[in-house]
Structure 1
Amino acid sequence: MKQLFLLTVVLLLVSSCVEELIEKPDNLIPEDKMVLIIKEMAIVNAAKATNLSKLRENGVEPTSFIFAKFEIDSAQFVDSDRYYASKPLRYENMYKKVESDLEDQRLKLEAEKKVRDSLSVAEKSKKDIDIKKKDSVLSNVQK
């Protein structure tokens, strides 16, 4: 733990004393927008890993889709990514934000799924009760 703290302090000192490694590009994507783009890319990469055939069926090329959605091009993304990567602490914070946003989204989706599942169970049990009532009415009528 001490070594990690010492390493962090040394990195902070070195990064604060060093001149900029990469100049700020003219077309730099703002940090908050860059976080959204990285988050979308993570989601799309997960979708590609699990269901690439569906994306192909619908004619979706994931990277082009994201660039079009955020009205950027690949060169602008690469320049911005390279610039932010040259600032490790800032870049790390961006990725922590992405991770936090994805976790929040996951929890929200799980909660929605629980609600849908409970509604489905309630609907099924209502149908089962209706069927039992009909069966008991029919058996009483037949007696």
Structure 2
Amino acid sequence: MKKFFYITLFTLFVSCTSNTFYKAPKDLIPKDSMVTLLTDMYIASSAKNVKNKFLKKEKNYVGLVYRKYKIDSTRFKSSNLYYTSLSEEYAEILKEVKTNLDSLENLYRFKKIKKDSLPRKKKILNEELSLKLSDKNQKLQKPVKKPKAVK
């Protein structure tokens, strides 16, 4: 009975490991292209819920990404399946995608701050100029003291 238990336990542990590796498809998307493709796919999928300037939700942008890279959905799915079977490589790809997304976020955040700061700078300069002018006006409007008559 003990032998049967140990054999069953050993079989259970061996069968739980995931050693499923798929063959590379003939039209595999290269790793560097997959990084840029996934970056654009994440942006497109997150933009699906954002309203455009006409306050309407646009349709799915993923098709535009496929058109940009001149691939179809089956090629992407087969390449993605292959890379997901290689978990270490896929983890590296996703780290690069996250790095790309973070750098894009920082870039656009900086552009927004720069764009927003221009009117603020103009406002500050206008306020400083108006303060200087009001100081000059106050100096000019001060009553001049008449000299005392000499007796």
Question: What is the TM-score with the length of structure 1 in the denominator?
Answer: 0.69
For 1:115, the equivalent position in structure 2 comes to: 114
Bigger Rg, which one: 2
Unpaired segments of 5 or more residues in structure 2? 1-16, 142-151
Q: Does residue 1:35 correspond to 2:35, yes or no? A: yes
How far apart in 1 are the matches of 2:137 and 2:70?
65
Determine the structure 2 residue equivalent to 1:22.
22
Bigger RCO of structures 1 and 2 (CA < 8 A, at least 6 apart): 1
CA RMSD of aligned residues (A): 3.0
User: 2:63 is matched with which residue?
Assistant: 64
Distance 2:63 2:106 in 1: 28
Alpha-carbon distance in structure 1 between the residues aligned to 2:128 and 2:56: 42
- Aligned twin of 1:54: 52
Distance of 2:58 and 2:48 partners within structure 1:
13
Give ranges in structure 1 of 5+ residues lacking alignment. Answer: 1-13
- Give the corresponding residue for 1:85: 84
Whether the 8 Å CA contact 2:28–2:79 is kept in 1: the answer is yes
Change (3 A) 1:48 1:59: closer
Corresponding residue for residue 45 of structure 2: 45
Partners in 1 of 2:52 and 2:77 — Cα distance?
27
Deviations along 1:23-57, one digit per CA (max 9) or x if unpaired, are 111111111111111111111222123x1x42995
CA separation of 1:54 and 1:115: change in aligned 2, threshold 3 A = closer
108-117 vs 34-43, greater mean Cα deviation: 108-117
Number of aligned residue pairs: 124
Q: Distance in 1 between matches of 2:63 and 2:82?
A: 21
TM-score with structure 2 setting the length: 0.66
SS at structure 2 position matched to 1:115:
helix
Identity value in percent: 25
